[in-house]
Amino acid sequence: MSELHVDVDLQQKMTHGQVVCGDVFHSRRISGEGRYILILSDGLGHGIRANVMATLTASMAMNYASFHTRPEIAANIFMRVLPRSSDGKESYATFTIIEIDNDELVRIINYDNPPTQIFRFGKPYLPRELEIPIRGEENKGKIIRVREFKPIKGDRIVFVSDGVTQSGLGEKRFPMGWGREKLEAFVQNQLEREPEVTATRLARKIMNQVEMNDGFEMKDDASCGVINFRKPREFMLITGPPFYKIKDQDFVSRVTGFPGKKIICGGTTAEIIAREMQLDISIQHHYDWDNIPPAADMEGFEMVTEGILTLSRVEEILESHTSNTRLENSPPEEVAKLLLEHDVIHILLGTRINRAHQDPEQPFEIQIRKFVVRRIVKILEERFFKKVFLEFI
């Protein structure tokens, strides 16, 4: 798995006229184990009640999965806790759990959600499936389905709630709903057209089709998650000059020797690199963003921005980012785009005090920069599954 990046995206659309979605998605990266856990739960019906039940199910499933609890035992516990439908036969939430271990194993655990679809070399791939009865007399006939396989580069996993497969239900074109087979054919067609399609783009294409199936007024909550196993893309963010001036040349050598894309956040840092590399910095004079200094151009770098103000705004953007967020072209948004587009991120954080702005006895600016960068690292690792290497220099 160390040679593969796990690219994940989930898109959702709620029932027409509702204010919350009855499907809930939780994700967690357990860094100490190199393990990813993704959970999609579908609450019965729609609206707030469905959302509450799905949230409870997803939260409990996440906790049990984090502690390596056997799926049939965990399912028995939280299915007993959750209420059932009025006839007592149907539980109030279904779920799909996807665990991706560092030892190159994917485990998919499914209870009553549409079967997860796997594609290899652009074609459907069907690893062996185990059927495990859920313990307890009240769960008689209830089955959890488990699949395990080792991913390879280019594999895709598509997991959905039944709002996707049942879209178009009752319409002339899809009287029985879109269905699993048509979803599979749609994904296969997209992979044939665009073999390198990203997880985000594929998930959006599927959900756009689902919305069309329902005549652009969703009849049910619908969620589509896509996992793409691909070669990681590397990126470097440089902010702050090195603590010792004597190290400037070594610092610049490390920056110039990095093979991927790179940006600089900080004017002093950019001046040091420009001086050592004998480059010019060209300020972008056209900008329309309040309280944000303009970016600059420098050969060999994607962009050069101001430091702490820009990074603070980047943190806010990443913290509030959702599948529906559309980023514009302000400097902080451009930085956020680059961070989200790459998988392995190297951050060089300089710790020299800027004596022009701060009393050397009170290096407050350095502490703020460290805090903001650490927050960015945490968000990138936990929410976006990025591999981040932070180095103080």
Q: What one-character DSSP code corresponds to residue 69?
A: -
Poorest-pLDDT segment among 104-108, 145-149, 297-301, 363-367: 363-367
pLDDT of residue 362: 42
pLDDT of residue 92: 72
Average pLDDT (171-181) is: 91
Complete domains list, the chain, with CATH: 5-230 (3.60.40.10), 234-392 (no CATH)
Examine the pLDDT at 178 and tell me if it is beyond 90. yes
Q: Which two tokens stand for residue 391?
A: 């180095």
Strand partners, 160: 224
Asked if residues 5 and 34 have their Cβ atoms less than 8 Å apart, the reply is no
Q: What one-character DSSP code corresponds to residue 44?
A: S
pLDDT of residue 359: 46
pLDDT of residue 366: 65
pLDDT of residue 357: 46
User: Which amino acid is it at 6?
Assistant: V
pLDDT digits (tens, 9 = 90+) for 196-218: 999 999 999 999 999 999 999 99
Poorest-pLDDT segment among 42-46, 233-237, 350-354: 350-354
Poorest-pLDDT segment among 97-106, 262-271, 354-363: 354-363
Examine the pLDDT at 298 and tell me if it is beyond 50. yes
Average pLDDT (269-288) is: 80
Mean pLDDT of the residues in the chain = 86
Poorest-pLDDT segment among 32-36, 134-138, 276-280, 298-302: 134-138
